[in-house]
Amino acid sequence: MESVTIKDIAKRCNVAVSTVSRAINNHPDINPETRRKIMQVIEENHYIPNNSAQNLKKSVSKTIGVVIKGADNQLFAKMRPVLVEGIAQYDYDSDMEYISISGDEIREALRLVKEKRLKGLIFLGGNHNRTAEELKSVPVPFVMCTVDMEETVPKELYSSVSVDSYRESYRMVDYLCTKGYRKIAILAGSKGDESVGRLRLNGYRDALAAHQIPMEEKRILYSQDWAEDVFSMENGYRMAKKLIESEVDFDCVYAVADSIAIGACRALLQSGLKIPEQCGLAGFDGLDETKYYYPSITTMRQPVKEMAEEAVRMLFSMLHKGAPNQHSIFPGELTERESTMK
């Protein structure tokens, strides 16, 4: 339990702690011979520097915080390793923090920055209507990843990497219209959604309008307000069931997230509908599952890997070169699959 410290190593080597420190940190002015010997003793005793002491001393730990909103979001799960590796390439550590979908990521971030002396932040998910006040309160550079901010929020107050939820949602619905679907139902998030759910819903609205298709309120399905559960397959299943039982007329279902689409797909097939012959289906995000469902499900893929890499690049350009806040918008990849290929 009582770990071996740098002092122990120094003693065992009959040198001063400073010499050991030099050996560890590859300092130039040290006799290669003593260095070799010290490293050997370190090996033998399985000595490993105390992280807390290092950070305390360095006063500013080389650590980037990653605040992940939504515990089992699969997109974020795919981004995590990319971020860790990317950050490591700059010789920084990463500190991952998961917070609930209903939590306040900015408040949490503030705590972390102080507590762990973080040098920068990457947010995965979050509300898109933060106030200027809130954004200004973050004392280190940060990048919002996969979250479209409200237009009213000044662009110079934050950096971001995202796909344009509104625009790509519009594209998707436009595509569905082009395929001949006219009565497209949408499975949206919760009614009070302040995140991507609403933006995608807006894209749906405007695309229909552009095709002169009257929008029926009845074809908009909201989920119950069980916050954590909004983007679950179960919720998709429930909403689709409700749609089917409501006897509302529809020839296509568009879900604002693939997880919702998968649940919905089962409900549709179970009710005897043929996909895509009697009913089209499309999702959003590009989860792997959509490729292996039968029928495979049309989706708007988000290039998560590239986005994560860009977020890291962007963050360090601000950190190292003092670059100003930037915004990078990635195009979604409309992936046409069996569910809409009649």
Name the residues that contact DNA, by CB under 7 A: 3, 5-7, 14-19, 21-22, 24-25, 28-31, 33-35, 47-50, 53-54, 56-59
Q: Report residue 198 CA to chain centroid gap.
A: 17
CA–CA separation, 6 vs 25, rounded Å?
12
Per DSSP, 57 falls in state H
Q: Would you tell me which residues interact with its own copies (CB under 8 A)? A: 1, 3, 46-53, 55-56, 60-61, 71-72, 74, 77-78, 80-81, 84, 96, 98, 110-111, 114-117, 139-140, 232-234, 236-237, 262-263, 265-266, 269-270, 288-289, 291-294, 296
Q: Which does 29 bind (CB under 5 to 8 A by kind): its own copies, DNA, none?
A: DNA
In the complex, minimum distance from the CB of residue 292 to DNA, in angstroms, rounded to a whole number: 48
Q: Which does 242 bind (CB under 5 to 8 A by kind): its own copies, DNA, none?
A: none
Per DSSP, 251 falls in state S
Q: For residue 82, which of 307, 320, 329, 316 has the smallest C-alpha distance?
A: 307
In the complex, minimum distance from the CB of residue 109 to its own copies, in angstroms, rounded to a whole number: 12
Q: Which does 312 bind (CB under 5 to 8 A by kind): its own copies, DNA, none?
A: none
Helical H segments across the chain, by residue range: 6-13, 17-24, 32-44, 51-58, 74-89, 105-116, 132-136, 165-178, 196-210, 233-245, 258-270, 289-292, 304-321
Nearer of residues 114 and 155 to DNA, judged by Cβ:
114
In the complex, minimum distance from the CB of residue 176 to its own copies, in angstroms, rounded to a whole number: 21
> How many CA atoms lie within 13 Å of 158's alpha carbon, on the beta-carbon side?
30
In the complex, minimum distance from the CB of residue 339 to its own copies, in angstroms, rounded to a whole number: 12
Q: Which does 30 bind (CB under 5 to 8 A by kind): DNA, its own copies, none?
A: DNA
**317 class by beta-carbon count within 10 Å (0-12 exposed, 13-18 middle, 19+ buried):** middle
Nearer of residues 55 and 328 to DNA, judged by Cβ:
55
Nearer of residues 149 and 281 to its own copies, judged by Cβ:
281
| Residue 148 region by backbone torsions, left for phi larger than 0, else alpha for psi between -120 and 50, else beta | beta
Q: Which does 17 bind (CB under 5 to 8 A by kind): DNA, its own copies, none?
A: DNA
Q: Which does 178 bind (CB under 5 to 8 A by kind): its own copies, DNA, none?
A: none
Nearer of residues 93 and 338 to DNA, judged by Cβ:
93
Nearer of residues 45 and 270 to DNA, judged by Cβ:
45
Beta bridge partners of 333: 301
Nearer of residues 201 and 268 to its own copies, judged by Cβ:
268
Give yes or no for a contact between 242 and 234, defined as CB atoms under 8 angstroms apart.
no
Nearer of residues 98 and 330 to its own copies, judged by Cβ:
98
Nearer of residues 53 and 210 to DNA, judged by Cβ:
53
Give me the phi and psi of 159, to 5 degrees please: -110, 155
Q: Which residues contact 124 (CB under 8 A, 6 or more apart)?
A: 66, 67, 68, 69, 73, 76, 79, 145, 146
Sign of CA dihedral 254, 258, 260, 265: positive
In the complex, minimum distance from the CB of residue 198 to its own copies, in angstroms, rounded to a whole number: 25
In the complex, minimum distance from the CB of residue 137 to its own copies, in angstroms, rounded to a whole number: 9
Q: Which does 142 bind (CB under 5 to 8 A by kind): its own copies, DNA, none?
A: none
Q: Which does 31 bind (CB under 5 to 8 A by kind): DNA, its own copies, none?
A: DNA
Q: Which does 16 bind (CB under 5 to 8 A by kind): its own copies, DNA, none?
A: DNA
Give me the phi and psi of 58, to 5 degrees please: -65, -10
CA–CA separation, 275 vs 57, rounded Å?
62
Nearer of residues 195 and 235 to its own copies, judged by Cβ:
235
Distances (CA, A) of 240 to 56, 170, 289: 54, 21, 18
